[in-house]
């Protein structure tokens, strides 16, 4: 760290151990521990070591990847999350989780009203000479709102946290109450080799994406397959919620110029980063990147200002009217509302824009091996709609791509059955007839 002498003195005065930092927390308080790839795991572990001394603690978080004792102790800790990752799913099993459904464009409501913190743990990068630290791979997405609400701000300074440029992306050592030094590798999500089905889906989507498009790719194998498959497109722009490995590849490969964008031309815009280690190294001190809070990056009106905006997102299942369930199935929360509808609407509002919901035609249960159709006659009881039928445009499986937007309800059923897995088409046709949709 190369801070000026006066700031170095202040830094040293605020530096404490994780166990010392969490001594300020009292029973009945709300503590924000971080989100996704900007989570203060060591501070959260230290809080867990005080569990016998505390009760009625509310934890705010989202999309965590590493196990924490506080997530599975419902007698002392209540977990509120707006997007579930592997750790929140463990909390759900333990009975600790209280999920809140919110579009990421409105995430400030979570920070200010749903779960305003008394104490905020904020992971940051190493400081620059003026004492400024970046909120890292994901923190830019909402940390300014968290910082504004918290009565006590504790920084976890991590040398592995990338220093990213953007809007509301910095905090100064002067603006925290305490700081902890703890270096921990950022959680990674490895790229998977696309299956033949995913490859076929990506090719249908790629065929619809022109030169000069401004792209958003959702999380998962299909989004990355589309991204890597755009290597023959030119003058692409990036305005996305999630910065992915495949988007970084397109930037390094010269496919992205961002010169056709109306929102920050010349810059790739994102709200957070999730992928492999090389991706975090790519965005670190990368002046071609510009990070924005979810409230800006995911605002459909801002997305729509870019011409030829294209959004690519996924689904758990889709019914014959076009309703998409992407975060919850049969009453069981799996992920989160996220930014799917933000980008579905923003892309279609864009001049020349398109939105795609893409999924393999079959789902194979990891637990039972049971095979089921992702295109269903009706959503299962308790399933939540992520994207309403009136908003859905293109739906893609490995069997084709259909545009539902101009179709009647009966025409939608025909179109969706045509791209369902052949093993389920007869069953879906019978169900559609019984429902008066065929």
Q: List the catalytic residues.
A: 241
DSSP 113: I
CB neighbour list of residue 283: distance below 8 Å, 6 or more residues apart: 137, 162, 164, 243, 248, 273, 289
DSSP 210: P
Query: H helices of 78-206, where?
Result: 86-94, 107-109, 136-139, 143-149, 196-206
CB neighbour list of residue 36: distance below 8 Å, 6 or more residues apart: 62, 63, 64, 65, 83, 85, 137, 138, 187, 272, 274
Q: 426: alpha, beta or left, given left = phi > 0 and alpha = psi -120 to 50?
A: alpha
The SS3 of residue 101 is coil
Give, in degrees to the nearest 5, the angle at Cα 255 between 293 and 285.
45
Radius of gyration of the chain (CA): 22
Contact 238, 248 (CB under 8 A): no
Q: Is 17 exposed, middle or buried (0-12, 13-18, 19+ CB in 10 A)?
A: middle
The SS3 of residue 279 is helix
Query: H helices of 171-244, where?
Result: 196-206, 221-229
Taking CA atoms, 389 is separated from 218, 325, 332, 434, in Å, by 19, 10, 21, 20
Contact 173, 133 (CB under 8 A): yes
What residues pair up with 217 in beta bridges, in sequence order? 312
Unique residue bearing structure tokens 């999500």: 189
Contact 317, 329 (CB under 8 A): yes
Q: Cα-flanking dihedrals φ and ψ of residue 218, to 5°?
A: -80, 175
Beta-strand relationship, 332-333 and 328-329? antiparallel
Contact 178, 21 (CB under 8 A): yes
The SS3 of residue 87 is helix
Contact 180, 43 (CB under 8 A): yes
Q: Cα-flanking dihedrals φ and ψ of residue 12, to 5°?
A: -60, -35
């Amino acid at each position: 760290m190369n801070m000026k002498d006066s700031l170095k003195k202040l830094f040293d005065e605020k530096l404490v151990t994780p166990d010392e930092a969490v001594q300020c927390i009292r029973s009945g308080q709300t503590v924000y521990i971080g989100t996704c790839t900007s989570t203060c795991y060591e501070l959260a572990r230290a809080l867990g070591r005080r569990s016998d001394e505390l009760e009625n603690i509310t934890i705010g978080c989202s999309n965590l990847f590493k196990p924490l004792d506080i997530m599975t102790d419902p007698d002392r800790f209540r977990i509120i999350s707006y997007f579930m990752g592997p750790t929140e799913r463990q909390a759900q099993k333990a009975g600790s989780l209280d999920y809140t459904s919110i579009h990421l464009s409105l995430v400030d409501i979570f920070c200010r009203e749903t779960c305003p913190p008394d104490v905020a743990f904020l992971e940051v990068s190493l400081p620059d000479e003026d004492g400024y630290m970046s909120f890292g791979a994901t923190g830019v997405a909402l940390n300014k709102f968290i910082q504004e609400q918290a009565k006590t701000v504790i920084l976890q300074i991590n040398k592995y946290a990338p220093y990213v440029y953007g809007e509301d992306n910095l905090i100064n050592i002067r603006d925290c109450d305490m700081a902890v030094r703890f270096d921990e590798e950022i959680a990674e999500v490895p790229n998977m080799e696309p299956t033949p089905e995913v490859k076929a889906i990506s090719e249908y989507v790629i065929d619809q994406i022109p030169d000069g498009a401004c792209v958003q790719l959702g999380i998962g194998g299909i989004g990355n397959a589309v991204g890597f498959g755009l290597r023959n497109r030119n003058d692409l722009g990036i305005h996305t919620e999630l910065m992915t490995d495949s988007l970084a590849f397109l930037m390094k490969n010269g496919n992205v110029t961002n010169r056709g964008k109306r929102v920050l031309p010349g810059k790739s815009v994102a709200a957070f980063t999730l992928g492999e280690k090389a991706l975090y190294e790519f965005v670190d001190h990368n002046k071609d990147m510009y990070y924005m809070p979810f409230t800006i990056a995911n605002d459909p009106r801002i997305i729509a200002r870019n011409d030829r905006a294209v959004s690519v997102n996924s689904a758990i299942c889709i019914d014959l009217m076009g309703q998409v369930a992407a975060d919850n199935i049969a009453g069981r929360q799996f992920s989160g509302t996220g930014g799917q509808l933000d980008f579905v609407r923003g892309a279609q509002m864009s001049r020349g824009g398109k939105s795609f919901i893409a999924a393999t035609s079959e789902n194979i249960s990891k637990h039972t091996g049971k095979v089921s159709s992702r295109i269903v006659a009706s959503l299962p009881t308790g399933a939540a709609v992520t994207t309403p039928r009136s908003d859905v445009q293109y739906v893609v499986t490995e069997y084709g791509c259909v545009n539902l937007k101009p179709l009647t309800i009966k025409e939608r059923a025909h179109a969706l059955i045509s791209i369902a897995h052949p093993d389920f088409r007869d069953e879906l046709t019978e169900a559609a007839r019984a429902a008066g949709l065929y």
